[in-house]
Amino acid sequence: MSSQALIDKIIKTAEAEAEQITDEIIRRAADNEKTMIDKAEAEVARIKKESDEKCAQIKRISSLTSGLEARKARLHARRTVLEEAFDCAYQMMLSQPDEKRLDYIKKLIAKYAPSSKLTVYLSEKDLLLIDEKAKADIKASLGNDADVRFNADKKIKGGVYLCSELSDVDATLDAVFEELHDKYEAEADRILFSE
């Protein structure tokens, strides 16, 4: 067998294995997504029940206090429920298994890297996940000439902070959840408290 034929066979085998791995990752992601959705729906039901109870309490208070004080109390209760919902989602993200956290980090870097020469800051816990294979995967997603360095930052709980000579990108969980909070607060309020 010629060396070219051998090389072609190795490439074909590698492509088939990569496709199988990709299919398995997609299948697992779908399973994990369903599990997360089920948990989130259960949490929403719990939060809605608690919020209904709090709203009932607020209605009782409103009959005893002035209209302004009742509205203040209701807004505070809504804010508390919304904050609890966002905090719960945040904690769920922090408690993801290593494989999912690593996959999330890879996706963030691939999506938001401002250039192929960058420094990635992440939590100490997540830095431990960045082995040689992960580095190779990340480098491949940015181009083979990518120059990527990884550093731990005690302020980061999850996600990544990307620094390059072009710009910095804050894709930490704190930044992402702050953006999501601002973007979806009114919608979450409408869903949780619509009558």
Query: What are the structure tokens assigned to 14, written together?
Result: 């590698």
Enter the tokens of residue 101.
């956290």
Q: What pTM did the predictor assign?
A: 0.56
Architecture of domain 98-177: 2-Layer Sandwich (3.30)
Helix axes 67-94, 3-64, angle to 10 degrees: 160
In one letter, which amino acid is 90?
Y
CA distance 79 to 39: 22
pLDDT tens series, the chain, 195 aa: 577 776 767 667 756 665 676 666 666 666 666 777 777 777 778 878 887 888 778 777 666 666 666 667 677 777 787 788 778 888 888 888 999 999 999 998 988 888 888 999 999 999 999 999 998 888 888 887 889 999 999 999 999 999 988 889 999 989 888 887 777 777 766 766 665
Of 140, 102, 137, the residue nearest 123 (C-alpha): 102
Q: Give the HSE-up count for residue 148: Cα atoms under 13 Å, Cβ half-sphere.
A: 30
| Structural domain boundaries in the chain | 3-95, 98-177
Q: Is 65 helix (H, G, I), strand (E, B) or coil?
A: coil
